[in-house]
Structure 1
């Protein structure tokens, strides 16, 4: 459930999308980021849903980021957009199993772990700007979601793509990566790039004295 009626959601989308510019990204502390987003069940018609997805993609790309959930721009619906086409150094891409993720919109998503293997890496969030922390996540997941045309899809993701999927789906349950982060790993962006921007977190783990190998928690 959401406190917004369908009419209020449409008006909010119209207001945010009217300028054609990216939307402001809400920061941690905003109540909407900590609430369970409502399932999308037709509150927006096709034109308004298309406008919302276009706005979210513009906002994600302008940030820039690799994913954005609707609550991050104040829309309390279970909708997210994903896209990772950034170049990565070969050593980093190999260590993080990072492959390009073409743009997609996921509606009412839910994931489950595939296997027991986990991976710990630094990640950041557009709603907690300026910081990064290490999160231990499932290396592979299976995602169930609806597509904008209303069709249902089940898809498997692994490596960095699986991390993006988990991060954005967690947002829709009111969970931000700091809730799952290894606390001693938190650092500012400047400190991350000065000390810990290696392909793995081994040096950061030793330097900041945190442990990996903790089973990931669900949202």
Structure 2
């Protein structure tokens, strides 16, 4: 299928809790096609990550990864990976505040608190389990995408309602840095 349509805030599929990817999908062409569509769509939209519910697929899977991204000019690159049936646990109590955007909430940004460090457990495309500790921007992206699997969008997590607006307005008024796109 390739590049898919990204659902926007207001579409009911974005508010549903996704279903775990079944065991018999691992290693299948069906799963690989979904993974390919997620990566193709994420890349076409200059996203840092994309979750299956955002392309109207009700499964607990998302992809992340980026080199230099014009939407996140100050962010370090993220390795490309597929995270299936992920589970996240906070490490400690420290949270960090940062501005987030979303392909399903186009043109808007908001300030959101996220755990600074997380423990992540997930399965890869073959079904093998992995664990890793993440921090800072990498942890933020994973938490953001995992929220999509639970029907949560970043505006639900705003620090305060005033920390939300159109990207270009926030830039003009010095709230966020200029983006390349």
What TM-score, normalized by structure 2, do the two folds share? 0.90
Which residue does 1:161 correspond to in 2? 138
The match for 1:60 is 42
CA contact (8 A) 2:23 2:127 kept: no
| TM-align CA RMSD | 1.7
User: Aligned partners of 2:69 and 2:106: how far apart in 1?
Assistant: 21
Q: Does 1:73 align with 2:55?
A: yes
User: 1:129 aligned to 2:106?
Assistant: yes
Q: Who is 1:197 aligned against?
A: 176
Tell me which residue corresponds to 1:115: 92
Counting only pairs closer than 5 Å after superposition, residues 1-219 of structure 1 correspond to structure 2 as: 17=1, 20=2, 22-42=3-23, 44=25, 46-86=28-68, 93=74, 98-182=75-159, 183-195=161-173, 196-198=175-177
Q: 1:187 to 1:25 in 2, by over 3 A?
A: same
Matched residues in 2 for 1:192 and 1:61: separation?
25
Unmatched tracts of structure 2, length 5 or more: none
The runs of at least 4 aligned residues of structure 1 exceeding 3 Å deviation read 42-45
Offset from partner CA, 1:68-99 (integer Å, 9 cap, x none):
000000000000000121258xxx74xxxx43
The number of residues matched between the two structures is 173
Deviation of 1:188 (Å): 0.2
More helix by share: 1
The structure number with the bigger radius of gyration is: 1
User: Structure 1 residue 116: deviation in Å?
Assistant: 1.5
Distance 2:77 2:91 in 1: 20
CA contact (8 A) 2:109 2:166 kept: yes
CA–CA distance in structure 1, aligned partners of residues 104 and 69 of structure 2 = 23
Structure 1 residues without counterparts, runs of 5 or longer: 1-16, 200-219
| Separation in structure 2 between the aligned mates of residue 27 and residue 198 of structure 1, nearest angstrom | 24
1:48 CA drift (Å): 1.2
> Using a 3 Å threshold, how does the CA distance of structure 1 residues 76 and 87 change in structure 2: closer, same or farther?
closer
Structure number with higher relative contact order (C-alpha < 8 Å, ≥ 6 residues apart): 2
8 Å Cα contact 2:68-2:76 kept in structure 1: no
Deviation at 1:194, TM superposition (A): 1.3
